[in-house]
Amino acid sequence: QVQLLESGGGSVQSGGSLRLSCDFTAMPQSEYYCMAWFRQAPGQEREGVAALSSDGMTYYEDSVKGRASISRDSARNTLYLQINSLKPEDTARYSCAGAAAPCGTSWSTYGHFGYWGQGTQVTVSS
């Protein structure tokens, strides 16, 4: 069974950086898979931030393009999200997600993913 555990969140000043980690107990059992980061701020809908497909393709939400990088350590079954130049509007609870299917155009769709972590809070102060 795939279980996900996030870490690395915290409080940081605007302009700072954070690297979030997501430990998978196992990869989704499929030749094709999609691993992603979502975030949800209070009173707002959950949104996809970044995704990494099994074919190496990466996807980013427009507001983090150029500031974020998603990567995976295969040996450790860990997914990372590095975000630089953090802004107060990046404040949210960040969750990682996994799908036993390619990312494609559904990379930022909540229903595409069957595996979810509990999330880690990121707070950016101005």
**pLDDT tens column, 84-100:** 999 999 999 999 999 99
How sure is the predictor about 29, in pLDDT bands with cuts at 50, 70 and 90? low
What is the predicted pLDDT for the residue at 27? 63
Neighbours of 58 (CB within 10 A): 14
Residues belonging to the chain: 126
